[in-house]
Chain A
Amino acid sequence: MQPSYLKVFLTFARNSLVRDMSFRANFIFTCISSMAWAGMNFGLFKVVYQFTNSIGRDSGWGENEFFIFLGTVWLINSLIQTFCMANMERFSEMIRMGSLDFALLKPIDTQFLISFPRMNWAQLPNGMLGILLIIVSLNALAAERGDNLYLSIWNVLAFVFFIACGLCVMYSVMITLASTSIWLGRNQQLYNFWFYITNFYRYPMEIYQSGTIGWTLWGTFTFVIPILVVSNVPARVLAQPLGTPWQRWEWGFASLAVIFAIVSLLVSRFVFRSALKSYRSASS
């Protein structure tokens, strides 16, 4: 009589898909608009690279390297938006309306139950575009460097692993934030906050490494809310921008990515559980 978490997860996925498909026009429209956003994003940086060869002086982020970075960011964004964002938003609303009651009755981990029920499949095509952009740019990069084999299967596996670490961090940040609605009564800052942090994490960390403001931002987003690690570590594993100060710290940042993933999951679990203790439901 133990619940099967995998089956429950797959049922969530299936039910969400059935639901999305029953609002076909909305589904298609969401796909088109988010892909259009990706296209414009791509176009913007194409324009930027007409004026320069690399972002940041001697940063190693030439056009192809950068588009691998951009593809990585799209992939992480899309996975979080597909699997998490709608649920985090909903969680906050459940607390205010008191419908968290039902989640608390179920003989299954409550955090799991509120984290994944609504998947937003229309956000997934962007991730596909990200992967496509990465593959195309990798090919171009290999041609540019004249070395088809500079990546091994280990790089690809490491990429997947660090993407997973990054997802853990992003998920933890969002659920921690959503949990605070139990104390705040209401938290409508979720999407705003998501917008703020994704604005900073979609660039290589080198662009922050100059001047007081730059280094402050770098320190904040590397060690306090470690979103720069989330995007930079997997992107670097593939793009391997050459001749950057990063290379000296490669292992350091890779270990940070793992440590942050574990610590942030533990912290978010702790915050979630403490928050539940303060849940007071709402009138019937």
Chain B
Amino acid sequence: MAIIEIENLKKSYRVYQKKEGILASLGGLFKREYREIHAVAGIDLQVEQGEFVAFLGPNGAGKTTTLKLLSGVINPSSGSAKVMGFTPWRRENAYRRKFALVMGQKNQLWWDLPANESFRLHQHIYGVDPTEFKRTQDEITELLNVQHLLGQPVRELSLGERMKMELIAALLHRPEVLFLDEPTIGLDVVAQHNIQQFLKHYQQERKITILLTSHYMKDVAALCKRVVIIADGLIQYDGSLEGIVDRFSSDKIITLQLAETESFDDFQNLDDVIEIEPPKVKFRVQRDDVPKLLSRILASRNVEDIIVEDPPLEDVIASAFSQVEQNRSDADSLHAEAVS
């Protein structure tokens, strides 16, 4: 049985549409216009125990809302979800003892106190046995290499150090399911790498289930075999990282290295060329057109090296996102026309 089961989950908000200007604001005191926002518009998802799943999507796609629904922080408009057999928004203590949520943009540690004071508070709130608490804390602080920072007020830690402390706080009760909402946001490359390594190690060791949202493709590539793309409140893709390219892009990138004697002038007029940097020239073509292009050039030019590869993942995902955006704004304007 899947550890997380989501069926047709929906969450919409009514948002006050404030108009510009002081008169409009005064008018807003009496009559308000609202817009319905479908943050999550019907999601179905199953996650097995021990999976490490990444949620990708543009800002406002519904990733965080989904994690909040699964954490029971907010109630859905409709649909159902079960995590370890519990309905999250019932907020049963038995459920709340078994999972954790870490949000990269918010902190739950006491700002003015050393992190270990907050940890102790968590120990009492979760009712963790003192010896077990000590063991877990020692183990995780060592893995993250922050033992020497435990006694320092949180406000005096760097962003990366603080994020590590947030992670520790979330793991002290040994959750079986972990929701991570952009845990590496704003961190430098080294700190990002440290946290990735830690999560990878911890997840493999404990076999816990993790859902991660992130905008850093490196996080996703390093950690998750399974990727779910959410945009516009709906799941647009669910599969492997490599599969994204097949699904959203039918292009290949061809890089040719030409002999020094070759001229590059006539390449500039070709549509498929995306970059000329002698002695290299780059093409972006449909997959089916690759042999045709190659044979044409090989016949007429002195080529020293050929690389055929998939377009960079970031580009593919970015274009997939903007495709979804485009579809939505088209739908919106259609809707607007229909209304007027």
Chain A nearest CB from B135 CB (Å) reads 16
Query: Which of B73, B96, B108, B124 is the one whose CB lies under 8 Å from A281?
Result: B73
Q: How far apart are B106's CB and chain A's nearest CB, in angstroms?
A: 6
Are the C-beta atoms of B106 and A15 separated by less than 8 Å?
no
Interface residues of A in 101-124 (CB under 8 A from B): 101-102, 104-108, 110, 113
* Complex Cα gap A169–B242 (Å): 62
Chain A residues positioned under 8 Å from B101 (CB to CB): 101-102, 105
Check if B106 sits within 8 Å of A101, measured CB to CB.
yes
A98 at the interface (CB under 8 A from B): yes
Q: Which residues of B contact A212 (CB under 8 A)?
A: none
Residue picked from B71, B73, B110, most chain A C-beta under 10 Å: B73
Q: For the complex, give the distance between the alpha carbons of A157 and B286 in Å.
A: 88
Residues of chain B from 68 to 126 with CB closer than 8 A to chain A in the complex: 68, 71-75, 91, 93-94, 96-97, 100-101, 103-106, 108, 110, 112-113, 117-118, 120-121, 124-126
Given contacts A1-B97, A105-B100, contact A15 B121 (CB under 8 A): yes
Measured between alpha carbons, how far is A22 from B75 in the docked complex, in Å?
39
Surface stretch bound by B, among A2-10, A28-36, A253-261? A2-10
**A5 to chain B: closest residue by CB:** B124
**A11-B121 contact in complex given A102-B108, A284-B105, C-beta closer than 8 Å:** yes
Within 8 A of A (CB), among B118-138: 118, 120-121, 124-128
Cα A12 to Cα B126 with chains together (Å): 15
Find chain A residues with CB under 8 A from B104 CB. Answer: 284
Among B94, B101, B106, B118, residue most surrounded by chain A Cβ atoms (within 10 Å) = B106
Given A22-B153, A107-B93, A284-B105 in contact, is the A4-B127 Cβ separation under 8 Å? yes
Q: Beyond A11-B120, A279-B74, is A106–B128 a contact (Cβ under 8 Å)?
A: no
Known: A15-B117, A99-B106. A1 touches B127 (CB 8 A): yes
- A15 interface neighbour in B72, B113, B126, Cβ under 8 Å: B113
Separation in Å of the B150 CB from the closest CB of chain A?
14
Asked whether any CB of chain A lies closer than 8 Å to the CB of B184, the reply is: no
The interface on chain B, measured as residues whose beta carbon lies within 8 A of the other chain's beta carbons, has a size of: 35
Is B13 in contact with A102, judged by CB distance below 8 angstroms?
no
Which residues of the partner chain A approach B100 to less than 8 Å between Cβ atoms? 105
Decide: B127 and A277 in contact? CB cutoff 8 A.
no
Q: A1 touching B105 by the CB < 8 A rule?
A: no
Contact A8 B126 (CB under 8 A): no
Interface hub of B64, B94, B118, B126 (most chain A Cβ within 10 A): B126
Q: How far is the CB of A275 from chain B (nearest CB, A)?
A: 13
Q: List 9 A-B contacts (CB under 8 A).
A: A15-B110, A99-B108, A100-B73, A101-B73, A102-B108, A113-B125, A279-B74, A283-B64, A284-B182
Q: Which A residues fall within an 8 A CB radius of B?
A: 1-4, 7-8, 11-12, 15, 18-19, 22-23, 98-102, 104-108, 110, 113, 277, 279-281, 283-284
